[in-house]
Amino acid sequence: MPSHPDYDLLLSLEDAAPASALPAVRHIADCRECCDTLHELDVLAQYRVATAPDQGFNARILDSLAQARSAEVNPRLLKEGGSQRPAHHWGFAIMLFAACSVSSWVLLYLGSWSQAVTPDGWSALRAAAIAVIAGLAVASHTLRSARPQQTLRN
């Protein structure tokens, strides 16, 4: 069975000498795989074609890029649809995490204190784990809602 022509030949089939092109052309006529590959190469080669953009198009892109650059330097300056995008509130998230953790721990231990029972080590660990998880969940939600979006529109 004749072997497939190599890709270099497929890429330059139009310019190839008849001696090498003819066998390849005959093979391609019978081989669906090579025919499809040739079509794929043709489509990709059409990406060499340039289309002139509308007037002012490049300037609009550069304006958007300047806006994006300003937003990176100072996120509070970026406005999208009239609303101001918030900056990351790391400090606030950490305070919220700490407050939730302590509150959860205190609430879990209220029962123990009211019963005048000394909590054991496992109870303390369990309470601490629940408090940390609760604090992380709240802080994570706060950060997600404060994260700036990264798509600018015309």
Partner 1 sequence: MTPEDAARFREGTDELFAALVTLHSPRLLSVALRLTGDRAAAHDLVHNAWVQAFYRRAQFAGAGSFLGWMLTVMRSCYLDLSRAGARRRARDDAFARDPLRDDRVVHAEGGAGELPTDEGLLAAIAELTDRQRDVITLRVIDGRSIAETAEQLGIAAGTVKATQSQALGRMRSLLRK
Binding site for partner 1 (CB under 8 A): 6-8, 11, 33, 36-37, 39-41, 43-54, 57-58, 60-62, 64-66, 68-69, 72, 150-154
Reduced to 3 states (helix: H, G, I; strand: E, B; else coil), residue 126 is helix
d(Cα 31, Cα 35) in Å, to the nearest integer?
Answer: 6
For partner 1, the closer CB: 61 or 98: 61
For partner 1, the closer CB: 6 or 83: 6
Q: Which among 95, 78, 97 is positioned nearest to 86, based on CA atoms?
A: 78
Quote the least distance from Cβ 95 to partner 1, whole Å.
30
Structure token digits, residue 41: 């190469």
For partner 1, the closer CB: 9 or 143: 9
Plot region of 81 (φ>0 → left; ψ -120 to 50 → alpha; else → beta) = left
Quote the least distance from Cβ 59 to partner 1, whole Å.
9
